[in-house]
C-alpha cells in the first residue's frame, strides 16, 4: 500500500492505500464494478464516445488515443474479437503497471470487460511478464473470485453479456511487449513482430479484430465511465487528458511512483516530490519516458511539462512514464552503452537494421568506454542510428537509435574525452548480459 | 510416462482449454514445467510436444527465444541482478560484481555445490526501488551490499537446512516462492521489502 503524496491526483491509483482492494469484497466496497453496470446499460458506441471525450492516450508508450483505437474495430466480423491487456512491463525505467496489478487487479478486469462490451469481444487475455509471478498469482486469484461471483463468464450481471478472461504468463522477452509480437507469443510462438498494416484492430490475435492496451490505460477506464470523459480530460491540458503514473528513479533522494496530472512540471516532480538530487548534486540529464526516449539535457528538463505534446516539442516522448534522473557524475558513454546492450540483447533478430545495427553500435560504444575507440566512429554511430530509424517491422530499432542519437548530439565531447584518456566515473567493465 | 506431477498434468489440461487453439498454452506450460523440474529436461520437452500435438523441434525453437527458459539445471537459488539504467545509477554493477566475487561464479554459471547460480539481467520492473535483485521469483529491492550479503546468507542457510524432499538442483524446486510484499510496504521503497528474504506470502 502506498500513502498519497499531497501533490498527487489519484485516479488510477485511488485504491493504492486501501488494504483489501485486491479482494472482490474490498473492490466492491469502493465503487467496484459500478462502471461496468453503467457501461452495460450504454450502447457500445456511447462507451467509445465517452473514452474519446476523456482524451485518454495509451500509457504503454506510444500515446495513441484509446477511444479512437477502439473505434477502429469493425462492428461485424466473421472472426472472433479479442481484448488484450499488455502487462509485459519491460521498458527500463518503468515499474507502474506492477502496482496496479498488485493493489487494484479488479480495475484491470473491469476495464477489460468494458472494452469487451464496447468492441463486441467475448474473450480477453492479460499477458503478464514472466518475472512478475506473484502478480500473476494475484491476478489469477482475482479472476477466480470475479468468475465465482458472475463478473466473468456467461451472462454477466444478468445482461446477456458473455466475457471469458484469463491471465497468461510470458517467459522473459522485452520484444513480447510489442503488440504484434505479444500476439505471436500468445499464440505459442517466438515473439517476432508482424508487418503492419493490417493493424490489430482489423487482424490481431488469431487473426481476429483485437484491441490491445496497456494495464494503466485499461485500469483508467472504469473511473472515466463512472465520472464521465470530460471529468477525466479536465485534469490535463487539451488533448492530454487525465492523470498518469510517473516512475521516478535514478539520482534523486526519493525514488517512487506517483500519479500526477498530465502537464505537471518535471522540476516539481524532481524537487518537490523526489526531494531533489542526491547529495546536492547537479542535474545532467533526464530520461523522460523510459529507456527508448531521447534524453533531455538539464536546461530543457528543468523547464518542461510532463504531457505528450510538451515533451514532443522538446524532441522526445512521454513514453511509458519512466523518468530517470542523471546527475553530473554520470558517464554518458557508459549510459549509452548500457542502453545499447539492452536493445542488442532484446532485438529479436528479425530485421537486419536492428539486429546488425545494435550489434555494431554496442561494439563501438564498448570500444569508446573500455579503450580502443576511434574518433571517426562518433559520426559513424550517428549514421548507423539514423539508418535504423523507421526501417524495421517494429519500434525496437527506433527505441535503440533514439536515445543514442540524443546522447551523441548533446554529449559528443564525452566520447572524445574518453579517447583522450579522461578518467570515467564508472570505470571499465563490460556488462556480462551484453556479452551474451 | 509423464515427467510431471499429476497436479501439473491437470493444470496443463485446464490451460489448453483457455485458448481458441491449444498451442497458445505453450509458453506458460514450459515455464510451469521448469518451475517443477528446475529445467526443461528432454522428457519435459517431449511430453509438452505430445500434449500440444507439436514436434519437439517446434517446442525447442520457442524455448530458445525466451530468456527465462533453460535446458540445463541452474542453482537452487538463481540470483538475478539487474544492471539496467535505473539500477546502474544506484549501484547495480557493484551488486553484480559483489555476487561474482562472493559466489565465485560468473554470468549464467552455477556454483559447484548447486546452491547458487548467477545471472546479470535486464530491467526487472523495479526501477523506482533500485537497485534490484530477483532470487528465483522473489524480489529484493533498494539493496546495499550489506543487505545483499544478509539475503545471500539467509538463502545459503536455508539450502543447508533444506529438506531433501524439496528437490535438488533447480530454481524451480517446489515450495511456495511468492514475493508478495505481504504488509504492502516496500512498494514506495520502505526498507522492509529490500531486506527480507521473502519466501511466503
Ligand atoms: C519493443 C517494444 C516493447 C514494448 N513493450 C511494451 C510493454 O512492455 N508494455 C506496454 O504496455 N506496451 C509496450 N509496447 C507498446 C505496445 O506495442 C502497444 O503500443 C501498447 O500495448 C498499446 O497500448 P496503449 O495504447 O494502451 O499504450 C512496446 C512497444 C515496443 C515497440
Ligand atoms: S532498471 Fe533495474 S529494475 Fe528497472
For residue B29, is pLDDT > 50? yes
Which ligand places an atom closest to the C-alpha of B134?
Answer: 2
- What is the rounded CA–CA span in Å between residue A185 and residue A192? 8
Interval A330-358 mean pLDDT: 96
CB of residue A72 inside a 6 A radius of ligand 1:
no
Nearest-CB residue to A131 (from B26, B127, B134): B134
Short-list A199, A259, A226, CA closest to A42: A226
pLDDT band at A424 (very low <50, low <70, confident <90, very high): confident
**Angstrom distance (rounded) from CA A35 to CA A32:** 7
Cβ–Cβ pairs < 8 A, chains A and B: 190
CA end-to-end span of chain A: 38
Q: What is the mean pLDDT of chain A?
A: 95
DSSP string, A277-308: BGGGPPEEEEE-SSTTSPPEEHHHHTT-EESH
> Is B87 near ligand 2, meaning CB less than 6 Å away?
yes
CB neighbourhood size of B58 (10 A): 15
| For residue B183, pLDDT beyond 90 | no
Nearest CA in chain A to B58: A189
- Beta carbons of A339 and B177 less than 8 Å apart: no
Q: What pLDDT does residue A381 have?
A: 97
- Give the distance from residue B165's alpha carbon to the nearest chain A alpha carbon, in angstroms: 23
Bridge partners for B121 per DSSP: B82
Residue A13, chain B, CB below 8 Å: the answer is no
Residue A227 has pLDDT above 50, yes or no: yes
Q: Does A429 touch chain B (CB under 8 A)?
A: yes
pLDDT at B186 over 50: no
- Nearest CA of chain A to the CA of B96: how many Å? 10
Q: What is the pLDDT of residues A73-118, one digit of tens each?
A: 999 999 999 999 999 999 999 999 999 999 999 999 999 999 999 9
Q: Is B179's CB within 8 Å of A426's CB?
A: no
| Ligand that comes closest to the CA of residue A191 | 1
A360 Cα: distance to centroid of ligand 1 (angstroms):
26
Q: Which of A55, A108, A179, A212 to mutate to test the pocket of ligand 1 (most atoms within 8 A of CB)?
A: A179
Per cent of chain A over pLDDT 90 is 93
Shortest distance, CA B113 to any CA of chain A (angstroms)? 22
For residue A355, what are the contacts with CB-CB under 8 A and spacing of at least 6? A347, A349
For position A371, what pLDDT does the model report? 85
Going by pLDDT thresholds of 50, 70 and 90, the confidence category of residue A436 is very low
B 36-65 near A (Cβ less than 8 A) = 52, 61-62, 65
- Residues whose CB is less than 8 angstroms from the CB of residue A28 and which lie 6 or more positions away in sequence, other chains included: none
Residue at grid coordinates 522473489: B138
Q: What residues of chain B lie within 8 A of the CB of A346, using their CB? A: 122
What is the pLDDT averaged over residues B33-60? Answer: 98
For the residues B76-103, what does the mean pLDDT come to? 98
Q: Which ipTM value was assigned to this complex?
A: 0.95
Amino acid at each position: 500500500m502506498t500513502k498519497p503524496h499531497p501533490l498527487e491526483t489519484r485516479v488510477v491509483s485511488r485504491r493504492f492505500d486501501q488494504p483489501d482492494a485486491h479482494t472482490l469484497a474490498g473492490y466492491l466496497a469502493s465503487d467496484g464494478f459500478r462502471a461496468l453496470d453503467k457501461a452495460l446499460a450504454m450502447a457500445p458506441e456511447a462507451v467509445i464516445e465517452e473514452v474519446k471525450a476523456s482524451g485518454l492516450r495509451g500509457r504503454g508508450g506510444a500515446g495513441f488515443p484509446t477511444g479512437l483505437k477502439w473505434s477502429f474495430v469493425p462492428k461485424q466480423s466473421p472472426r472472433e474479437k479479442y481484448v488484450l491487456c499488455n502487462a509485459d512491463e519491460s521498458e527500463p525505467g518503468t515499474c507502474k503497471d506492477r502496482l496496479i496489478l498488485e493493489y487494484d487487479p479488479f480495475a484491470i478486469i473491469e476495464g477489460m470487460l468494458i472494452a469487451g462490451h464496447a468492441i463486441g469481444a467475448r474473450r480477453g487475455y492479460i499477458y503478464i511478464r514472466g518475472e512478475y509471478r506473484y502478480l500473476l498469482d494475484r491476478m489469477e486469484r482475482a479472476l477466480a473470485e470475479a468468475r465465482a461471483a458472475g463478473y466473468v463468464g456467461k451472462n454477466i450481471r444478468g445482461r446477456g453479456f458473455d466475457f471469458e478472461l484469463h491471465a497468461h504468463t510470458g517467459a522473459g522477452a522485452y520484444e513480447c511487449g510489442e503488440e504484434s509480437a505479444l500476439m505471436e507469443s500468445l499464440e505459442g510462438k517466438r515473439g517476432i513482430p508482424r508487418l503492419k498494416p493490417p493493424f490489430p484492430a482489423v487482424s490481431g490475435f488469431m487473426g481476429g479484430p483485437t484491441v490491445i492496451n496497456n494495464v494503466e490505460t485499461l485500469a483508467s477506464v472504469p473511473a472515466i465511465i463512472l465520472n464521465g470523459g470530460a471529468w477525466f480530460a479536465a485534469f490535463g491540458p487539451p488533448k492530454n487528458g487525465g492523470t498518469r503514473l510517473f516512475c521516478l528513479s535514478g539520482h534523486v533522494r526519493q525514488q517512487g511512483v506517483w500519479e500526477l496530472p498530465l502537464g505537471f512540471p518535471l522540476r516539481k516532480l524532481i524537487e518537490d516530490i523526489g526531494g531533489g538530487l542526491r547529495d546536492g548534486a547537479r542535474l545532467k540529464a533526464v530520461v523522460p519516458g523510459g529507456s527508448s526516449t531521447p534524453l533531455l539535457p538539464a536546461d530543457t528538463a528543468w523547464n518542461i511539462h510532463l504531457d505528450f505534446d510538451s515533451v514532443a516539442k522538446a524532441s522526445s516522448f512521454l513514453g511509458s512514464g519512466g523518468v530517470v534522473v542523471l546527475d553530473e557524475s554520470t558517464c554518458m558513454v557508459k549510459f549509452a552503452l548500457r542502453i545499447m546492450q539492452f536493445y542488442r540483447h532484446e532485438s529479436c533478430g528479425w530485421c537486419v537494421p536492428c539486429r546488425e545495427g545494435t550489434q555494431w553500435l554496442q561494439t563501438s560504444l564498448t570500444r569508446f568506454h573500455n579503450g580502443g575507440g576511434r574518433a571517426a566512429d562518433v559520426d559513424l554511430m550517428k549514421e548507423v542510428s539514423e539508418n535504423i530509424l523507421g526501417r524495421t517491422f517494429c519500434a525496437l530499432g527506433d527505441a535503440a537509435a533514439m536515445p543514442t542519437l540524443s546522447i551523441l548530439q548533446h554529449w559528443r565531447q564525452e566520447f572524445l574525452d574518453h579517447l583522450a584518456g579522461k578518467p570515467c566515473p564508472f570505470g571499465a567493465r563490460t556488462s556480462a548480459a551484453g556479452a551474451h | 510416462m509423464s515427467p510431471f506431477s499429476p497436479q501439473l498434468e491437470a493444470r496443463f489440461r485446464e490451460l489448453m482449454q483457455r485458448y481458441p487453439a491449444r498451442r497458445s498454452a505453450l509458453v506458460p506450460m514450459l515455464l510451469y514445467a521448469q518451475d517443477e523440474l528446475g529445467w526443461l529436461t528432454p522428457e519435459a520437452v517431449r511430453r509438452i510436444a505430445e500434449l500440444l500435438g507439436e514436434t519437439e523441434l517446434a517446442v525447442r525453437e520457442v524455448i530458445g527465444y525466451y530468456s527465462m527458459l533453460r535446458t540445463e539445471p541452474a542453482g537452487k537459488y538463481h540470483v538475478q541482478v539487474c544492471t539496467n539504467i535505473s539500477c546502474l545509477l544506484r549501484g547495480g554493477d557493484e551488486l553484480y560484481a559483489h555476487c561474482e566475487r562472493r559466489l565465485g561464479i560468473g554470468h549464467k554459471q552455477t556454483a559447484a555445490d548447486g546452491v547458487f547460480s548467477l545471472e546479470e539481467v535486464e530491467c526487472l520492473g523495479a526501477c523506482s526501488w533500485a537497485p534490484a535483485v530477483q532470487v528465483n521469483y522473489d524480489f529484493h529491492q533498494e539493496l546495499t551490499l550489506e543487505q545483499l550479503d544478509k539475503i545471500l546468507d539467509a538463502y545459503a542457510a536455508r539450502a543447508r537446512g533444506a529438506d531433501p524432499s524439496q528437490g535438488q538442483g533447480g530454481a524451480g524446486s517446489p515450495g511456495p516462492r511468492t514475493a508478495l510484499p505481504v504488509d504492502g510496504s516496500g512498494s514506495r521503497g520502505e526498507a522492509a521489502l529490500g531486506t527480507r528474504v521473502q519466501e511466503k506470502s
